[in-house]
Amino acid sequence: MLEVLDQIEREALSALDKVQDEESLQHWKVVHLGRSSPLMTTFDRLGGLPKEERPAIGRRANEVKRVLETSCNTREESLRQVFLLRTLRSEKLDVTLPGRWLTQGRLHPTTQTLRQIYRIFGDMGFQVYRSREVEIDEYNFELLNIPAHHPARDMWDTFHTTTAGVALRPHTSPGQIHVMREYAPEPIRVILPGMCYRYEQVSARKETQFNQVEGLAVGNEITMGDLKGTLSDFARRMFDHNVRIRFRASHFPFTEPSAEMDIECFLCGGVGCRVCQGSGWLEILGCGMVHPTVLRNGGYDPRKSMGFAFGLGPERITMLRHHIEDIRYFWANDMRFLEQF
């Protein structure tokens, strides 16, 4: 049996010397190291040999296996180096060719609009104030004059968390209470940008998540005329000096009186489309004079202080500025859309 193993080793090594490519090497592995190879069948026959011969034959068989495996690995590496050298010689690289330009990232269209909004209100004396996106019910509704079980809560389709009384904010208005309590009784003029979340039916003009920019001004002599003048000036700076705007009476629990401001729909020129729902106008913000209850909850005396507030939608403004027909494009991550900006 030992002579047979010596013969197996010689024949296998001799065959390995003739291997010139990867395919032949794989065939060699099957023939000489596969389960049906003469070497591997030797291990199966060990049990039938005399007990005194088994140790020597077993050791020799393992030694032959190690030699063949080591030789195979060496041959495999040699073939890989030969293939690499051949490839380098045949596939020449022209280093004088111009390289490929790397695609440079750009700001998201909503981010561009937000920065323009910051600049406009910054010129008017407003400061940016950040508030959290996960809020307790007290700040989301109670302190904004929306008590529990009040029907006005149906206006905000809120995403609630597994913790009772904690939800994703459906609007940026909770930030009003935070900033008022931080600066009361001093006059304030701030904008509060951030992401909002609502469980709504997604359409060409509505999404479940969207940016909002809250505005708040509190002082001793602030009127509805100041609110309309501020927002009208904003619209002229954001769009065009001759842009058509309109204010409509509305209702919000945290403002009184309340209104909504519309911009003429640039997408259809006022004729009517699916974005403006055939009206020729697109609402971009809600506004009003801060309700006395909200002022009181924020730390101000409503007999001495007054204020106005508004909440505008950057995505809708972006749609008007760039003639975008579907708000869902902003969150689809479609490079064909984003690369246009």
Report the CATH number at residue 232: 3.30.930.10
pLDDT at 168 over 90: yes
Question: Residue 194: beta bridge partners?
Answer: 212
CB 188 within 8 A of CB 155: no
Residue 98 falls within a domain, yes or no? Answer: no
Same domain, yes or no: 159 and 204 = yes
Across 258-270, average pLDDT: 84
Residue 39 falls within a domain, yes or no? Answer: yes
Mean of pLDDT over the chain:
87
Question: Residue 127: beta bridge partners?
Answer: 190
Residue 71 falls within a domain, yes or no? Answer: yes
Domain total of the chain: 2
Q: What is the pLDDT of residue 205?
A: 73
Residue 144 falls within a domain, yes or no? Answer: yes
CB 199 within 8 A of CB 185: no
Locate tokens 């996106």: which residue?
133
Across 257-273, average pLDDT: 84
Q: What is the residue range of 160's domain?
A: 109-338
Across 197-214, average pLDDT: 87
Same domain, yes or no: 85 and 130 = no
Same domain, yes or no: 127 and 80 = no
Residue 102 falls within a domain, yes or no? Answer: no
Q: What is the pLDDT of residue 62?
A: 80
Q: Report residue 150's pLDDT band, with 50, 70 and 90 as the boundaries.
A: confident
pLDDT, one tens digit per residue, over 292-326 is 999 999 999 999 999 999 999 999 889 888 888 88
Q: Report residue 1's pLDDT band, with 50, 70 and 90 as the boundaries.
A: low
Across 213-241, average pLDDT: 94
CA-to-CA distance for 6 and 4, rounded, in angstroms? 5
Q: Name the burial class of residue 317, with classes exposed (0-12), middle (13-18) and buried (19+) by CB atoms within 10 angstroms of its CB.
A: buried
Straight-line distance from the first to the last Cα atom of the chain, in angstroms, rounded to the nearest whole number: 79
Amino acid at 274: R
Antiparallel, parallel or unpaired: β 255-264 and 281-290? antiparallel
Residue 104 falls within a domain, yes or no? Answer: no
Residue 99 falls within a domain, yes or no? Answer: no
